[in-house]
Each structure stands twice: as C-alpha cells, then as structure tokens.
Structure 1
Amino acid sequence: MSVQVENPRPSAVAAVIGLGSMGFGMAQSMKRAGLDVVGYDITKATVDRFVADGGRGAATLKETVQDADIVVSVVVTGAQTEAVLFGSDGIATAMKPGAVFVSSATMDPAIARSLAERLEPLGLHYLDAPISGGTARAAKGELTIMASGSRQAFAAARPALDAMAAKVYELGDAAGIGAAFKMINQLLAGVHIAAACEAISFAAKQGLDLQKVYEVITASAGNSWMFENRIPHVLAGDYTPLSAIEIFVKDLGIVQDMARSERYPVPLVAAALQMYLAASGAGMGRDDDSSLARLYAQLSGVELPGMNKEPQQA
C-alpha cells in the first residue's frame, strides 16, 4: 500500500528593499526562518553578497517585488520610501494584489499616513513598522518592531515579523502610530548618545582613567543603554559607522519639526541636534554617532583614543 505524501506548503516570498546594515541582517533572518527571500539594493555588490549568502537577488525594484507576498522596505527616509512606492521605478503598480508593504524607515507620522492612504486603494496593505535594535540584533532576528496597521496588514506580514523580531508591538490599526512611537524612541536615543559622549569627554578633561569611568558608570545610576553601548567605540577609538551621525541629524530634525507644529518645547532635542549638526559639519557625518565624543574633545583640547584618525567625509 503506497502512502501519498502531500507537497509541503510553499514558503512565503519576501522581498527586501535596502540591504544595508539593517536590511541585510533582516533578510538573513527571514531566510533562516524558511522564507523565500529576494533582495534589492542600489549597490550591486551588496546584492551579490546576499546571493552568495544563499538569497536571491534582483536587478530592479519591480523585479524584486513581482512575486512577493511581503515587501520589507529598509530605506532611510520617508522621501526614499515614497520613491520606492511611487517613483519612476515605483513598485506600487507591480506588487501582487493582497501583498503587504512593511515600511521600516523612520519618518514623520504624517508621511506614513499619507503613503498608506495612497497604497491601500490599490488593493495592497501598508504596515507602518519602524525598527529598533541595531545591526547585531537585526542579524539575529531580535529586533523590536513598533507596528501599526490594519488587521489584514498584520496577518499578511506575520511570517516576516516573526522572523525579524524578538518583540513586535501592535500599537494601533492605522499607519502613523508606529512612526510616532519610533520618534519618541529616537528623541531619547539621540539625547542619551549626546549625554554619554559629553560625559566621557568631560571625564577625559578631568584626567580620569576612561576604562575605569566606563566600569564605574555602567554599575551606577548614571548608566544608560546608550552609554553602555556607544562608549566602548570611543574607548577603542573605532568610529566605524554602526549608526551614523547623519541618522540623528535627520531623526532629531523630524522630532523638532513635529514639536514645533504642536507648539511643544524640546530644548534637550534642540541642544543635541546642534551637536550632531556640528559633527556633520566637521566631516564626521558618515562616522559612528559616538563621534560626538570626538567633537567635544576637539572643542576642549582633550585627547581621546583614535583622535588622529581622519573622519570619513559626508
């Protein structure tokens, strides 16, 4: 008697647009979870690297999404997200009916709402899903995702969300809510990095042993996640960009614009933003955001590890 074996259910096809420091890890995480992943990036070498890692690559945006059930966009800005969807090579008219667009860019909530309002009448779903956690967590599938959208959008995106994140916060049924949560996170993150860099540079000005400062502060009430995470970059004199200065020029600028429209004061954001702008103007825009410590050091005549290294030009 023969036993008929059913064909296994095909895995969902996920397209990842933007294979940068975060997108590459997110694509890897989905591939490990069994999704059929196709990747696209404006840098062909990055696509080739993903193919060498076992993924599929595409040469154009529309080719990337033509068979995809889930499209994860990991570009940087709202303007870039709009171009991905509705630009000259935009994917809005190339996506499968019923597919979901998962937007991971940090943007003004009003832009997220506008994009959803334009996409959903085409028979597609929009999930507002900004991310937090950094490159290492992206590679491990352990991101935090702050998501909002319709029940159908969440259901369609679930295989990708489960693969990419340790925590998925379902924050509401409309686009823009997730974006607003992310901006609160970025307010805190940007200010905390600036405070950490100010503190370690001030410690150097006092002639303190910086390794000992790190040991003491991380065991004390003044510690923060950003101090603990970023100050080792300063101590090593390694400003390889895991998260660049320009990210917080953008994000704190969005926070300040949002606050101004609400007539809400954000003086700490304003002060931190000026430091990021100064670091960018000094040629550190593409360097790690812990480069604020170098800026403080330059302003005050302090020597930090790696001070003689040339910054990458923005």
Structure 2
Amino acid sequence: MKIGVVGLGSMGYGIAASLLRAGHEVVSADVNADAVKRLRAEGGSNEDIAAAAPKLDALVVVVLNAGQAEEVLFGKDGLVGWLPGDAVVMLCVTVAPDFARSAAQKCAQSEVLFLDAPISGGSVKAAQGKLSIMASGTPEAFIRARPALDAMAETVFELGDTAGAGSAMKAVNQMLAGVHIAAMAEAITFGMTQGIDPETFINVIPRCAGTSWMLENRAPHVVSGDFTPHSAIDIWPKDLGIVLDAARASKFAAPITAAALQQFLAASGMGLGREDDAAVAKVYARNAGLTLPGAGN
C-alpha cells in the first residue's frame, strides 16, 4: 500500500518504521523536518504528502490532539479533500468519541473510509509493530485498513461498525493508565519516606499484587533519573481531560481520575510538561522534601 503518516513523534515514527518494514510505501509529514528527513533516509518516500494524497491508499494520523487532527484532515489544506474515494483514514489520536464520530461523517461526505483507531503500547511497541489498536468503523474500512493494521499492531480489537467506540475504549484505558502512573509516583515516593529506596521498590513491587504495567514501565525511569520523554507529562491533562469531559456528560463521578489529573497539572506547572510522565514523581518529592535519584532531581 501507499500510506501517508502524519505525525512522527515517539509513536508515529515507530508506526511509520513498522509500515516500511512490512513493505509499504510511506509518505510522511511532521512539523519536525528532521524526523521526516530521518524517515526518508531509512526508506521513506521523498514525496510531499499533499502531492501524494490523491494516490494514497491509507492515511494514518498520529498527531497530538483533536485540534491538530481537524486541521490535518479538514482544515484549509486538509488532506481528506484530496484523497481518492477508496482510501481509508486511520485516526490514531486520543480524541473524544464525539470528535471521532464527527470525523467519520466528514470523511463519508468526501466518500473516504474512516477507522476510529486509537493506539496503546508505547513507543517501543510502536517501533516493533506490536501495538494494541482499539478500532471501530465500517466493515469496508476494516478491510481497506487491514494491511496497515497488520504491520502496526499485535492486537486489533474490533469494537463495532460505528466510529466513536474505539475512542470510548481508549478513554477507559487512559483513565486507568493515568491513574496508575500517578499512583506509582505516590507509592515510590511514599516508600522513600519509610526508608525504602526506589531501587528496592522496583525489585519488590513488580512481584507483588500492587504492581501494574504502568508501574513496571515507568518506575525504572524514576530510579534511573532519566526523564527523556517516551510519553510526556503534557499528554495527560489532555487525555484525562477527555475522560473527565465524557464522565461529566454522562453524569458519572470520577474522583480518582480527577485527583490524578491535578498531579499532572502540578507537574506541568512546575515546568515538567515536556519530560517523561514518570516525572510526576517530582511533584511528590518536592512536596515531601525528598531527593529523587539522578542529577537535577
């Protein structure tokens, strides 16, 4: 397939690389010209994505948020209007279910297929082509997207024939993931107040009932003092904001999610927004007068 990928961040770049490895032709776009240049050096197409749009079989959108997705797809230079009628748009961004439904309707008006396809698994699994994808869309959209899905994902959950279901499931996942990261940060710093150093924490807790995938993935970042962003702090005010907006619309109380959001907002307010989301531990450390491992913490 000839596939466009818009957004070459930590997840998007891995997706593009996995598509290339599977033998697809990949045309890319990103505000970071160096990322595009790097992908082209690794075998990506040298075509401009706007020029390539009328020839694309699929367009994978992995930008930061709904606003960026709206601009890429339907803005002044939106790509949907240039795609051929049998192309499929795969929206991999974490967005509100209502946005996914609206995007599907707009694509249908242009006779373009649409798959609501948020992703999970982190940058490592994206690079390995082993993501989990929570997808919903018409049977025709699934059929058209299948070669790309096979290259990107280890598991594709088919959640129905209507856009919005995939994004709803992603909201549930993000509720848990955000809470688990904040809980990890709280637990690892609480342990420090009790004389348990972070390294001992990660040697013990992953073998006990209190563990989680997020704890096992993020706690080592705290221990190493390396907060190079694989998933940044500033992602969580957006994602947990989507969760709480949906909860509010359903008159559903989500107090634990709200408490986790406040910790990420505090971290962002401390200037940590571009650091790895495990840096939320610095909020707890600051408040408790603790010194985390690693220089500058």
| TM-score of the superposed pair, with normalisation by structure 1 | 0.93
State the partner residue of 1:122.
Answer: 110
State the partner residue of 1:270.
Answer: 258
- Counterparts of 1:248 and 1:306 in 2: how far apart (Å)? 24
Residues 140-164 of structure 1: per-residue CA shift (max 9 Å, x gap): 0000000000000001101100000
State the Cα RMSD in Å. Answer: 1.0
Question: What residue identity is the alignment partner of 1:302?
Answer: L
Question: What residue identity is the alignment partner of 2:279?
Answer: S
Q: Is the 8 A contact 1:204 1:303 kept in 2?
A: no
Q: Is the 8 A contact 2:198 2:222 kept in 1?
A: no
- Rg larger for: 1
State the partner residue of 1:132.
Answer: 120
State the partner residue of 2:156.
Answer: 168
**How far did residue 306 of structure 1 move?**
2.5
State the partner residue of 2:280.
Answer: 292
Which structure 2 residue ranges, 5 or more long, are not aligned?
Answer: none
Q: Is the 8 A contact 1:40 1:64 kept in 2?
A: no
SS in structure 2 opposite 1:76?
A: coil
Question: What residue identity is the alignment partner of 1:255?
Answer: V
1:56 aligns with 2:45: yes
Which of 24, 29, 37 is the aligned partner of 2:18? 29
SS in structure 2 opposite 1:272?
A: helix
Which of 92, 113, 121 is the aligned partner of 2:80? 92
SS in structure 2 opposite 1:148?
A: strand
**How far did residue 307 of structure 1 move?**
5.5
* Larger helix share, 1 or 2: 2
Residues 256-281 of structure 1: per-residue CA shift (max 9 Å, x gap): 11111111000001000000000000
State the partner residue of 1:204.
Answer: 192
State the partner residue of 1:186.
Answer: 174
Question: What residue identity is the alignment partner of 2:32?
Answer: T
Q: Give the number of equivalent residue pairs.
A: 297
- Counterparts of 1:66 and 1:243 in 2: how far apart (Å)? 33
Residues 170-209 of structure 1: per-residue CA shift (max 9 Å, x gap): 1000100000000000000000000000000111122213
- Counterparts of 1:196 and 1:77 in 2: how far apart (Å)? 25
Which structure 1 residue ranges, 5 or more long, are not aligned?
Answer: 1-11, 310-314
1:83 aligns with 2:71: yes
| Off by >6 Å, runs of 4+ in structure 1 | none
SS in structure 1 opposite 2:3?
A: strand
- Counterparts of 1:201 and 1:58 in 2: how far apart (Å)? 49
Which of 6, 9, 15 is the aligned partner of 1:17? 6
Question: What residue identity is the alignment partner of 1:305?
Answer: P
Question: What residue identity is the alignment partner of 2:269?
Answer: G
Moved more, 41-50 or 163-172: 41-50
